Amino acid sequence: MDIIQSYGLILIILAGVVGFIMAWGIGANDVANAMGTSVGSKAITLKQAILIAMVFEFAGAYLAGGEVTSTIRKGIIDANYFTDIPEYLVLGMISSLFAAGLWLVIASYKGWPVSTTHSIIGAIVGFTAVGVSSEAVEWVKIGGIVGSWVITPAISGIIAVGIFLSAKKLILDQKNPLEASVKFIPIYMGLAGFIMSLVTIKKGLKHVGLGLPFFEGILLAVTIGVVTALIGAYFVRKLSKKSLSLSHSEHGLSQAQQNISVERVFAVLMVLTACCMAFAHGSNDVANAIGPLAAVVSVVSNDGIIVDNSPLAWWILPLGGLGIVMGLALFGHRVMKTIGSNITHLTPSRGFAAELAAATTVLIASGTGLPISTTQTLVGAVLGVGLAQGVAALNMGTIKSIVTSWIITLPAGALFSIIIFYILKFIFGVA
């Protein structure tokens, strides 16, 4: 307790610094989930992706990142074990932020798309199990997280295969893809509008009390989907009119040339889905950085008393948003390249299928309480569209590296956290 009263301001400043490092790591690694497929399929340039992601990630983090956060993120450890030793919780959360942020910097430098959620969870479990008590860890929840390594990529991959093969059969493989696109692309646009609006409502706006009840949320999402489909139908017809007249002329467009025009429409769709995913991601995953930081601020501000929920200090959300943007700008291109180019060759239609499948899986997980990593979800979707082309279309070397990095993430976060925790205990003279 003495450490909290004696070094309160220093502990908060230290937590702010490592919280920024963690947010930086989230930006460098996780933001590629939203933009990697768009860049890889050449729907947008890397520079455009970074600018778009900066705007929507920061908006999600700052506007919808939440005014109140749980003291213990995801309920993976029992706070009762820290009641008499709140200084352990403070030093542990600082250690966890630094450990998870350090691992994310290493992974991002290597171009590995890892889970930021799993990084911070591994770090928190590490210092708690070794530094406090293994009984303080909710091991059942950790088992669910490990199980999600297989379940969520599989669900996402299956959905992605279904979306891409349907687009291939209904549009791309048709004799006249442009005519087919006029019929079917508005349906995909409506589906995208419905799914992405639901993701924004459920994973974004709920954090600031703007989330709607279940049926009202569904009704709003359906309305947005229908409006999107109608607007899409108008523009697709307009874009296709000139090309369609050419395709019926003596020097008509070939099927391949028509497919290029169709892919351009999918490219526009991809940008829209990427913006929504970036907003939802910023609002949701910024908590991986600000949750432990808010816990430190709360415990210090309450003179060592641990409360279940605490209002956020005014500076925490901007710090998290700025960290995400900085990480994205400096290191984001490395993980984007892995997801967008190194797993399989992506076209806008394949990228769109992957993005929409990932968003759908996020919704399913949100509704069922399944532990989820947005990174693993999108990688699973990209693998799915790659498999739809045959195993030869996949870069097995890249896939092995990714799977290995997933397995290492939890223990790496734990190991770093344990080492840093004991170093901090020594520095602050905690018994």
What end-to-end distance do the CA atoms of the chain give, in Å? 11
Give the integer Cα–Cα distance in Å for 350 and 366.
24
Alpha carbon distance 256, 407 (integer Å): 42
Instruction: State which amino acid sits at residue 134.
Output: S
The token pair at 97 is 């932020």
Question: What is the C-alpha separation between 320 and 285, in angstroms, rounded?
Answer: 10
On the CB side of 153, how many CA atoms lie within 13 Å of its CA?
A: 19
Phi, psi of 137, deg, nearest 5: -95, 135
Structure tokens at 81: 């074990």
Residues 6+ apart with CB under 8 A from 305: 86, 299
Cα angle, residue 356 at apex, residues 320 and 290 outer, rounded to 5°: 15
CA-wise closest residue to 316 among 97, 78, 31: 97
The whole domain housing 171 covers: 2-428
- What are 137's strand-pairing partners? 77
Q: What is the pLDDT of residue 36?
A: 85
What is the C-alpha separation between 168 and 159, in angstroms, rounded? 14
Residue 242 confidence (pLDDT): 61
Alpha-carbon span 375 to 116, nearest angstrom: 8
What stretches of 69-213 show up as alpha helix (H) in DSSP? 86-110, 116-131, 139-167, 177-203
How far apart, in Å, are the Cα atoms of 187 and each of 112, 181, 243? 35, 10, 20
- Name the phi and psi angles at 313, rounded to 5: -65, 150
Beta bridge partners of 218: none
**Three-state SS at 68:** strand
For residue 25, the model assigns a pLDDT of: 92
Q: How far, in Å, CA of 96 to CA of 427, rounded? A: 16
3-state secondary structure of 70: strand
Joined tokens for residue 111: 């171009």
- Domain count within the chain: 1
Q: Would the CA dihedral through 373, 376, 380, 386 be positive or negative?
A: positive
Task: For residues 397 and 418, give the distance between their C-alpha atoms in angstroms, rounded to a whole number.
Answer: 32
Whether the Cβ atoms of residue 395 and residue 343 lie closer than 8 Å to each other: yes
Pairwise CA distance, residues 385 & 36, whole Å: 14
Q: Which two tokens stand for residue 167?
A: 């687009």
Query: What phi and psi, each to the nearest 5 degrees, are found at residue 311?
Result: -65, 145
Q: How is 201-251 classified by DSSP, letter by letter?
A: HHHTGGGGT-PPPHHHHHHHHHHHHHHHHHHHHHHHHHHHHHHHHHHHSTT
* 58, 282 Cβ separation under 8 angstroms: yes
**CA 349 – CA 378 distance, rounded (Å):** 15
pLDDT by residue (tens digit) across 213-226? Answer: 778 888 988 999 99
Asked if 186 and 232 touch (Cβ cutoff 8 Å), the reply is yes
For the whole model, what pTM was predicted? 0.85
- Neighbour tally for 246: CB within 10 Å: 16
- Mean pLDDT per block of 10 residues along the chain (431 residues) reads 82 95 90 79 84 81 60 68 89 95 94 89 93 88 79 92 94 87 90 84 60 80 92 82 57 73 84 78 75 86 76 82 86 88 91 89 73 83 92 92 92 96 92 72
